[in-house]
Structure 1
Amino acid sequence: MNDYATIHQPVLLEQCVDLVAPALDHAGAVAVDCTLGLAGHTIAFLKAAPQARLIGIDRDAEALALATERVRREGLADRFIPVHAAFDAFTAVLDEQGIDGVDAVFMDLGLSSLQIDETERGFSYSHDAPLDMRMDTSQPLTAERVLAQYDAESLARIFRTYGEERYARQIAREICRRRDQEPITTSAQLNRLVDEVIPQAHRPAGNPAKRVFQALRIEVNGELEKLAATLPQIANRLNVGGRLVVESYHSLEDKTVKSFMAQGLVADVPPGLPMIPEDAQPFFRELTRGAVKADEAEVARNPRSASVRLRGIELTRPVPERWRRRFSSGGASQRRRRGR
């Protein structure tokens, strides 16, 4: 097995620590890393905040085991609680741990080094592998199953919405035509198909299938649904002064995060109101001016940081009751129509 402790490079690590650590500088502080991965960020948070304990959530059992071992080797296991779950189980995880409120929550929405580099997981279009793409290998829905069972309209929607693929409809129709002759089960088959459908003059830089692979991964793992369901849960369990810090790598992820944070950054009143009531005042404070991006040096060190968008907010007062009710109604985990 690869030495992931050596090759794993957390994205914007210093900036993330600078945003998260101030909220953990007190006795009894609790942080949650919703996307533990190989624990690169988690280890840095624990070292920067010696009074804090941290709950590390990951739906990938293999990543969770490797991360737990890395934390143990760093001598930090006594302040670390690993949890095997999807992050949209956020409220349930805290309830199971007997924790009412937390001081910092971190989310790194990109694929981990483990998922990218283990070719048999089927996440990468660069290697021939079974079309799996599951972050949680215990779930039934795989990329192969999506390609085999979804109709052309559903496939086109996925490729267009999650991959922003110009030729979504044509690719979807070709998938449905070919699967009737031979199952599409490997990344090499899908690569060839997309390569033959997209005209040479309209190809993106790099592999022409990268948008299709991205869209399939988002669909298989319900990434955008889970993100939208989790953010309200986090807001409802942040302590005053608590911070939410999120790294996104896809425009739809960043749009979801930005839109959610914006709800608490502005006064909740009609335009032109001469006086803003106290309970309508903003309850989030922006920690970043817009989204922080990786500079040239970071991208050179770690090419996976090229598309990152980092945003952070701090809860400045308790979430107003009407927002808490709204967040609660929108924060429950949603079961997906297929494969769940």
Structure 2
Amino acid sequence: MDLEQLKRLPKVALHDHLDGGLRPQTVVDHLGEVGHEIPTTDADLLAEWFYDAANSGSLVQYLQTFDYTVAAMRTRDHLVRVAREAVEDLAADGVVYAELRYAPEQHITRDLGLRAIVEAVRDGLQEGMDLAAAQGRTILAKQIVTSMRHGDPTNEIAELAIEYRDQGVVGFDIAGAEDGFSAHRFVKVFEYLRRHNFPYTIHAGEAVGPESIFDALQICAARRIGHGVRLVEDIELGGDTPRFGRLAQYVLDQQIPLEVCPSSNLQTGIADEIAQHPVGVLHDLGFNISINCDNRLVSGTTMSREFALVAEAFGWGLDDFRRITVEAMRASFAHHDEKQRLLDEIILPGYAG
């Protein structure tokens, strides 16, 4: 399948960072407005700079590029524009459902508090959905709010998520540097969310191995994992038959959704090339994986490009993409009726067609 065919396939984006997917020109415009330094004011060169700067093999260095994108999201108008454009870009790429995550605490200013931040993103997402609908494209976009895992593990952002659960906030996450900042630091936050029947996902198995995934699943009781690709370290692949460690067997048996981001994982050092990425093995072994962009600007990618990469590397075809898209929709934090409507009216007919 070529890229144009892949663009036409309905897609579900479960792992997309709002502050990692800005249009380069938007970064130029916004940093100019606030007087922030910028590597270049040429949008095309800036896109190249982001990709090259993130392509270090280190998650810590990868995350340093966000100093510029976060600085470009410092006013209500900035946040509305970024959210609107994200939805427009995803819809143009065939995405019909998207969960866009970000850390509200990173955008606080003297004039912009947590509630105003969530409301600005809410309004931007709605504008994007309305514009997409006017162009004949269906997309449902929701928010996942995150706490930074190196910060104090308070309930503040979790309480914010629950306050806006009926206004498009569908989940919670912790993000940032994984190594040295275990998820179990936030165990009481996750307990609070469960008591309020609120779903969450946890970044794990990206920069740290299976122990990070165990921490997220068995100590923090997550039922969806961001990345999770280093789970492959708990599988012996040398012989004729794979041998699963206890954790890998559990994740397989329980069909825990893994939000895999191939290009981003290459940039942070999981493998040297896409053909060596664990997603091929995990998919073949029956794990519940979805394909995602992580950060469209920083990784210079789109959902269709990610599909194209795994199609070329692993020979995936229409049946594979139907399977991962349907499972991603089922693993989403949308309400059941929303999931069923998108599956029945958009996703399944789109693949049948």
TM-score range, shorter chain: under 0.3
- Highest Rg: 1 or 2? 1
Q: Which has the higher helix share?
A: 2
| Higher relative contact order (Cα pairs below 8 Å, separated by 6+ residues) | 2
| TM-score in terms of structure 1 length | 0.27
